Amino acid sequence: MPPFTLAADSDPSPVGVLVTPSGDCTPQLMTIQAWAGEHGLEVVELGTSAEPNGAAPGCRLLVALGGDGTILRALQLAEGQAAVLGVNFGHVGFLADVRGEDLGDALERIGRGEAHVEERTALVATLGADPRRRLLAFNDVVISRVRGFGTARIRVDVDGERLLELVGDGVVIASPTGSTAYTVGAGGPAVSPSRRAARCARWWSTDASRSASRWRRRARPWASRSTAARSRTCRRRGRSRSAPRRARRA
């Protein structure tokens, strides 16, 4: 992992801060302000993860105060040009680097040049033709069917070669970072975030999954009852035929 160092004193880069809309981040914001002042850095508030106020031009470091959703939003704002420090304020914090109470120690390590950058694989999706839209995703990209038009038939090509064809409600293509999100629910594997690979899984909607499970629960008892009924019928018929013979012999 490459080391992370602050900008030179002659050209200090601002520090961007993105916060979660739920929760009080005032103590952590004061910690960031004090640390940035000691190093002669400006702090730029980027809004909340629900309503960010734009990109982070010139920032080499972004601090995300929140859960995984806030950290993913900060990664989108960074666009690969800035390092993101995730501070966990959520319940899971799979992507977080430190907890809220450990923010001060983490910033001090950054100031001393002891931090390293862990690079993550991102996904780029291009939509439409006129105009073309380019989307950057660090979690996953979901291609789903249009409601009311039945199941979708999707062909997956890799480097111009056909890989597989899927029939369902859609397909989930996940980065290693997002392998624990929708792709797990779709039956895909969970992998280490440091892997340089993408995961592809067929996706069924909740209603379709429930319908399929209800059909299986109904079908299996019916099959077992039918088999048991046939076996009992055969045994009854066997006894009814053999009993009179034994009686006549007696």
108 vs 125, 127, 157, CA distance in Å? 37, 42, 47
CA distance 54 to 78: 10
CA distance 71 to 19: 9
Please give the model's pTM, rounded to 2 decimal places: 0.70
| pLDDT per residue of the chain (250 residues) written in tens, 0 to 9 | 788 887 666 567 899 999 999 888 899 999 999 999 999 999 999 999 999 987 777 899 999 999 888 998 998 899 888 999 999 976 667 788 899 889 999 999 999 999 999 888 889 898 887 888 888 888 889 888 888 888 888 888 888 899 888 888 888 888 888 887 777 777 778 887 778 888 888 877 644 444 444 434 444 443 444 444 444 444 555 544 444 444 444 4
Q: At the topology level of CATH, where does 123-204 sit?
A: Tumour Suppressor Smad4 (2.60.200)
| CATH annotation of 3-116 | 3.40.50.10330
CA distance 233 to 79: 71
Whether residue 68 lies in the annotated active site: yes
Residue intervals in the chain for CATH 2.60.200.30 = 123-204
Active-site residue, from 24, 68, 130, 157: 68
